[in-house]
Amino acid sequence: MTTFLVIVHVAVCFFLIGVVLLQSGKGADMGATFGSSGSSSQSLFGAGGGSTFLTKLTASVAFIFMVTSLSLAYLSGRPSSSSIMSDVKAVAPVQQAPAAPVVPQEKAPVAPAQK
């Protein structure tokens, strides 16, 4: 499931980049508005089409991008139910010989204090 979501997410990411690059910038409309032709002056203040097909496509692809991002974040935060070590048999611990009892040693003689 996660692998499929990652593939969809990367594909949507590249598609979103392409759709955004296909659109013309807002600055291009401003230059045409105040240019030498007087007929284009209504595009700034009048109804200039508002929302084009590319704008709606960009919003839709951005929504899909956000859904896949949130889904991947949710799936990565869940505790895993499987492990790569599930097929490995447990090895019994090696029995070690008991350690020899610790016998308290006598204290070393203290040297007399020198004057």
d(CA 56, CA 20): 11
Provide the 10 A C-beta neighbour count for residue 12. 19
pLDDT, residue 106, reads 77
Q: Which residues does 1 contact at the CB level (< 8 Å), separation at least 6?
A: 75
Tokens of 48: 């200039």
| Amino acid identity for residue 67 in this structure | V
Q: Which two tokens stand for residue 1?
A: 């499931």
pLDDT digits (tens, 9 = 90+) for 25-52: 776 655 555 655 555 444 544 455 556 8
Q: What is the pTM of this model?
A: 0.52
Q: Of 3, 6, 1, which is closest to residue 68 (Cα–Cα)?
A: 6
pLDDT per residue over 67-106, tens digit each? 999 999 999 888 877 777 777 777 777 777 777 777 777 7
Which pair of tokens denotes residue 93?
């611990």
Residue 13 near residue 83 (C-beta atoms within 8 A): no
Q: What does the alpha-carbon distance between residue 68 and residue 60 come to, in Å, rounded to a whole number? A: 13
